[in-house]
């Protein structure tokens, strides 16, 4: 079997690796940029957690954490892995009841998440302003790693398995036979053609454009997100977890040299962007966003005050779907989508890569129930499905 993977980010590289692990599968990966990881992957926060509100996300996290937690030992490649955990803070009664029920669901699926008091939360984040919170969600198995290092690690493993990684190879069309089956790709406007038995779309915020090449409309909206490295007023312990305030949308985690990585989602809707516009991946952030981030962080803990400094910042692009679930399916014969991860492409890449391999080689997915990852003729109807397949609320 010959497979072409479109996209040199973490989803594409993991897909290429897991496909190459299968006997008789030859893989070519096409990246439109000069280097792999020219999109959002290196700009990710780097967290991995099981604190999710829908079962399929919990299952994908558990499958992925099994890989990430043993990655350095199994492959001998450093990815700056840290098992610091995740801590969620809730401020409202609605969030309180939702999180309590979600943690019960997570535990039933095998996660070790806990519902704790704000006072217990200070065992992990000592400077929390406990008076602002009603409860905490604690995930001791959650971890962090360097997304760029993880991408390079998967690329090394893929190359060792014989994957051909081609940069400056923009897919401008997906070729189909008379029956509509994907049979390969066209590169750079016809400069080259590559035959394949399967084509995998892992193009991130460009994924809807690639799907359109086979007349499949997938509901992906590219949205801009921003983050910043800061010098907090008080030093955040190096072993502190990644903390997310579900009330304000702010988050922070240890970074390096006493600095932290912080940011958040503070408005009802982030700006829709063109991923081809360099401003979508700029190395500065809006002053309005910085003010909202600082105000939210100062209300979360005593680490942040008027002397907190922003060292540098950047933005990336989320590939958002209406349900916040990815689309992982064989949308037309020979064409597999692995797109729309809504900000979770990095943490779930081992699971999504394995699912792609199962779909292409085995003919069906078995790692998790993919009902919530499929569309109805390209339409994201999953918001109308009953629990457990409602919209994931942990944005």
Asked whether residue 186 is assigned to any structural domain, the reply reads yes
Q: How far apart are CA 322 and CA 379, in angstroms?
A: 10
CB neighbour list of residue 155: distance below 8 Å, 6 or more residues apart: 8, 13, 36, 165
Q: Are residues 293 and 337 in the same domain?
A: no
pLDDT tens digits, 195-238: 999 999 999 999 999 999 999 999 899 999 999 999 999 999 99
Domain boundary, last residue among 320, 348, 373? 320
> For residue 29, what is the enclosing H or E element?
strand 26-30
Asked whether residue 74 is assigned to any structural domain, the reply reads no
| Phi and psi angles of residue 189, each rounded to the nearest 5 degrees, phi first | 70, 25
Q: Are residues 255 and 344 in the same domain?
A: no
pTM of the model: 0.94
How many domains, in total, are found in the chain? 2
pLDDT of residue 393: 56
Radius of gyration of the chain (CA): 21
Contact call for residues 387 and 53 (beta carbons, < 8 A): no
Q: Are residues 18 and 128 in the same domain?
A: no
Domain boundary, last residue among 320, 342, 372? 320
Here the CATH number for the domain that contains residue 355 is 3.50.50.60
* Residue 13 pLDDT greater than 90, yes or no: yes
pLDDT tens digits, 286-329: 889 999 999 999 999 999 999 999 999 999 999 999 888 999 99
pLDDT of residue 386: 33
Asked whether residue 390 is assigned to any structural domain, the reply reads no
* Residue 245 pLDDT greater than 90, yes or no: yes
Structure-token match 């604690």, residue found: 138
Q: Are residues 238 and 309 in the same domain?
A: yes
Q: Are residues 114 and 154 in the same domain?
A: no
CB neighbour list of residue 123: distance below 8 Å, 6 or more residues apart: none
Q: Are residues 203 and 225 in the same domain?
A: no
pLDDT of residue 394: 55
* Residue 283 pLDDT greater than 90, yes or no: no
Q: How far apart are CA 134 and CA 4, in angstroms?
A: 49
Asked whether residue 69 is assigned to any structural domain, the reply reads no
Q: Are residues 225 and 300 in the same domain?
A: yes
pLDDT of residue 389: 34
Q: Are strands 143-144 and 47-48 parallel, antiparallel or unpaired?
A: antiparallel
Asked whether residue 159 is assigned to any structural domain, the reply reads yes
Q: Are residues 28 and 110 in the same domain?
A: no
pLDDT tens digits, 129-145: 999 999 999 999 999 99
Q: Are residues 235 and 206 in the same domain?
A: no
Angle (nearest 5°) at CA 255 between 247 and 45:
55
Torsion of CA 26, 29, 30, 31, to 10 degrees: -170
Q: Are residues 250 and 312 in the same domain?
A: yes
Here the CATH number for the domain that contains residue 232 is 3.30.9.10
Q: How far apart are CA 268 and CA 201, in angstroms?
A: 29
Q: Are residues 285 and 327 in the same domain?
A: no
> Domain range holding 15?
2-44+148-220+322-384
pLDDT tens digits, 17-53: 999 999 999 999 999 999 999 899 999 999 999 999 9
Asked whether residue 76 is assigned to any structural domain, the reply reads no
Q: Are residues 232 and 302 in the same domain?
A: yes
Domain boundary, last residue among 320, 344, 369? 320
pLDDT of residue 280: 87
């Amino acid at each position: 079997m010959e497979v072409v993977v479109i996209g040199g980010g973490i989803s594409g590289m993991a897909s290429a690796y897991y496909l190459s692990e299968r006997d008789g599968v030859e893989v070519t990966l096409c990246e439109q940029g000069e280097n792999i990881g020219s999109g959002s992957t290196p700009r990710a926060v780097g967290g991995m957690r099981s604190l999710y509100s829908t079962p399929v996300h919990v299952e994908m996290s558990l499958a992925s954490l099994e890989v990430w937690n043993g990655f350095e030992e199994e492959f001998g490649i450093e990815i700056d892995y840290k098992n610091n955990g995740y801590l969620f803070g809730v401020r409202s009664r609605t969030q309180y009841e939702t999180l309590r029920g979600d943690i019960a669901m997570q535990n039933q699926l095998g996660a070790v998440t806990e519902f704790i008091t704000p006072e217990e939360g200070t065992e992990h984040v000592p400077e929390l302003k406990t008076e602002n919170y009603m409860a905490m969600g604690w995930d001791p198995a959650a971890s962090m790693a360097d997304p760029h290092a993880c991408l390079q690690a998967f690329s090394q493993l893929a190359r060792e398995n014989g994957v051909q990684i081609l940069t400056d190879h923009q897919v401008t069309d997906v070729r189909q036979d008379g029956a509509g089956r994907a049979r390969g790709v066209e590169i750079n406007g016809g400069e080259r053609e590559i035959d394949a038995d399967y084509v995998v779309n892992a193009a991130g915020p460009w994924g809807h454009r690639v799907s359109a090449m086979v007349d499949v409309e997938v509901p992906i909206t590219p949205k801009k997100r921003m983050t910043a490295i800061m010098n907090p007023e008080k030093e955040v312990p190096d072993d502190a977890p990644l903390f997310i305030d579900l009330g304000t949308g702010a988050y922070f985690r240890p970074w390096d040299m006493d600095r932290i990585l912080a940011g958040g989602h503070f408005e009802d809707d982030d700006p829709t962007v063109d991923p081809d516009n360099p401003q979508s991946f700029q190395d500065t952030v809006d002053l309005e966003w910085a003010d909202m981030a600082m105000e939210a962080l100062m209300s979360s803990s005593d680490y942040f005050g008027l002397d907190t400094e922003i060292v540098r910042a950047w933005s990336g692009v989320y590939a958002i779907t209406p349900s916040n679930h990815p689309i992982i399916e064989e949308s037309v014969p020979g064409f597999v989508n692995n797109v729309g991860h809504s900000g979770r492409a990095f943490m779930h890449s081992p699971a999504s890569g394995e699912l792609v391999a199962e779909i292409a080689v085995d003919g069906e997915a078995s790692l998790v129930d993919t009902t919530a990852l499929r569309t109805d003729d390209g339409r994201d109807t999953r918001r109308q499905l009953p629990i457990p397949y409602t919209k994931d609320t942990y944005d």
